Amino acid sequence: MMTMIISFLPFFLFSCLFHQVAVLPALSAAAILALGLSLWFRYTTGSARLIELTGAALFGAMALYSVAGGKPLSFYAVRMILDTGLGLMAAITVVIGKPFTLQYARQSVAPEFWSSPRFMAINNKITWIWALAFLLLGLTDLFMLLVPGAPHLFSTLAAIAIVTAAIKLNLRFQRQKVKAATLL
């Protein structure tokens, strides 16, 4: 779980910087951090993480859009692109049979269980949970874009509720994963 939290550092950095500096420096810093984390994970674990790669691609593309003279993106427009992009990445990884959560799950489960149908089924469920959470966050961001007078507190509370629910479900399935590994 800790490495997954580390994976979201570029997103936290962007959120912190966005209101302090212009959009381009915030996007650029987040893209550089995401790329750096991706390289670090590649070097230390042997594989790049999809969250960092997706973040680097999305932050980088939005930074290039800003440099190319595109209309400045609002906070909620950036968040909608990021959340929707992460949701689509998560969903696609399940559809192609390689749920992104495997990269994290394999850190806590012995290699002999990695190919078990139950291990894969649990990871598919966990990945679908995150896909749904990211897409719900994207819908919240879209709502904030379409209703400019909506209080920011709505977005904050919705994000807290969505992420908390995803974490709780994730932890429940992680316990099942560990239990399944001991039963196999």
State the pLDDT at residue 181. Answer: 55
CA distance 119 to 56: 29
C-alpha angle 19-59-145 in degrees, rounded to nearest 5: 55
Q: What is the pLDDT of residue 177?
A: 58
Per-residue pLDDT for 179 more than 70? no
How far apart are the C-alpha atoms of 8 and 54, rounded to whole Å? 11
> Taking 70 as the threshold, does the pLDDT of residue 145 lie above it?
yes
**DSSP for residue 41:** H
Please give the pLDDT value at position 55: 94
Dist. CA 113–CA 164, nearest whole Å = 28
Model pLDDT, residue 131: 97
Work out the percent of the chain whose per-residue pLDDT is above 70. 93
Task: Please say if the pLDDT value at position 150 is more than 80.
Answer: yes
- The per-residue pLDDT for range 46-70, each reduced to its tens digit, is 888 898 999 999 999 999 998 898 7
**CA separation for the pair 30, 153 (Å, rounded):** 24
Confidence at residue 93, expressed as pLDDT on a 0 to 100 scale:
96
CA atoms of 112 and 67, how far apart (whole Å)? 48
pLDDT at 1 over 70: no
Q: Among 7-11, 80-84, 134-138, where is mean pLDDT lowest?
A: 7-11
Q: Is the pLDDT of residue 140 over 90?
A: yes
- The mean per-residue pLDDT over the stretch 6-12 comes to 89
In 3D space, the residue among 78, 62, 67 whose CA is nearest the CA of residue 15 turns out to be 78
| Interhelix angle 152-183/117-146, nearest 10 degrees | 180
Q: Which pLDDT score is estimated for 153? A: 93
For residue 111, what pLDDT is reported?
85
pLDDT computed for residue 62 by the predictor: 95
Residues in contact with 23: Cβ distance below 8 Å, sequence separation at least 6, in sequence order:
66, 72, 73, 78
How is the chain split into domains, by residue range? 1-72, 74-184
CA distance 71 to 84: 20
Determine the distance from the C-alpha atom of residue 85 to the mean position of all C-alpha atoms in its chain, rounded to a whole number.
9
**What's the pTM value of the predicted model, to 2 decimals?**
0.87
